[in-house]
Structure 1
Amino acid sequence: MKPATVAQIKKELTFRSPDEITQLCLRLARFKKENKELLTYLLFEAESEEAFIQGVKDEVDELFNTINTNSFFYIKKSVRKILRLIKKYNRYSPHKATEVELLLYFCHKLKAFKPSIRRNRTLQNLYERQLDFIQKRIPVLHEDLQHDYSLEVEELKLP
């Protein structure tokens, strides 16, 4: 089955009643966890972006606290999992500042993590890639945010 384009779906939805649209959304939410998470964001968290960011930060804190530090293999695996989670949440929010703020928070946590990421080249590369990614995102933000985030990125750079 070939999926319809977004334009076709949008056109079809204009002909449906609000009750039918509600039923379609509920049915869509049953099939995939990400669909349910996106609907949760849109319905409950989109109005308060700060609360959404704080919720994600709390979840990241919890995940960093549960990392198995017995070997760098487990650390790398867990750090990649946390980064995937952050990137998934960034897709839900239309605000670019949210993306930059969450990635900066991730970098702060990773830099402060013990054992130090400087002892593992893979983790250092991952950290540096995220800083480069953040620097590419900063120019599209408001001027005040650009300045604040640029200072924060400079502070995070490894010597």
Structure 2
Amino acid sequence: MKTATVKEIKTELTHCSTQELMELCLRLSRFKKENKELLTYLLFESSHEEGYIESIQREVDEQFDLINTASYHYIKKSVRKILRMIKKYIRYSKNKETEVELLLYFCKKLSGFQPYIHRNNVLQTILYRELTSIQKKLPSLHEDLQYDYTVELEKLVS
């Protein structure tokens, strides 16, 4: 089966009634968890971005509490898993402020994590890569937000 392009899908959706669109969305939500998560964000949380950020931060806190600190191998796997989850939620939002806020929160949690992450090169690399990513995204934000986030970023770097 050949997959249709986005333009073709968009054209076809313009011909559908409201009922048909609702049925398509519900059917789409049955197939993959990510589809359901995206629909949940779009329908319920996109209008309350601050609440969305707070809920993700709580989830990140819970995930950091569950990390097995028996060896750095388990810590690395868990940190990568948390970062994948955050990036997925960032993709749903497409908001630069949300992205910077969540990545800064992740970096704060990672830099303050015990056992000390600076004894492991992979964890250091993950932290520095995300800090660099934040620095690249800052110029696209409003000036006031740039200043606030730059101050937080400097605290993390030092």
Partner of 1:148: 148
Displaced runs of 4 or more, over 3 A: none
Q: How does 1:1-159 map to 2 (within 5 A)?
A: 1-158=1-158
The 2-side partners of 1:51 and 1:35 are apart by: 20
Please, which runs of 5 or more residues in structure 2 have no aligned partner?
A: none
Q: 1:148 Cα shift?
A: 0.8
Please, which runs of 5 or more residues in structure 1 have no aligned partner?
A: none
Q: Figure out how many residues of one structure are paired with residues of the other and give that number.
A: 158
TM-score by length of 2: 0.98
Percent of aligned pairs sharing the same letter: 63
Q: Secondary structure at the match of 2:139?
A: helix
Deviations 1:89-140 (A, max 9, x none): 0000021100000000000000110001111011001100000000001110
TM-score by length of 1: 0.98
Q: 1:4 Cα shift?
A: 1.0
The 1-side partners of 2:143 and 2:155 are apart by: 19
Q: 1:67 Cα shift?
A: 0.3
The 1-side partners of 2:103 and 2:118 are apart by: 19
The one-letter code of the counterpart of 1:66 is L
The one-letter code of the counterpart of 2:23 is Q
The 1-side partners of 2:79 and 2:60 are apart by: 10
The 2-side partners of 1:105 and 1:3 are apart by: 38
Pairwise CA RMSD of aligned residues? 0.7
The one-letter code of the counterpart of 1:42 is L
Deviations 1:4-25 (A, max 9, x none): 1111111111100000000000
Q: Secondary structure at the match of 2:137?
A: helix
Q: Secondary structure at the match of 1:69?
A: coil
The 2-side partners of 1:31 and 1:52 are apart by: 24
Q: Secondary structure at the match of 2:148?
A: helix
Q: Secondary structure at the match of 2:135?
A: helix
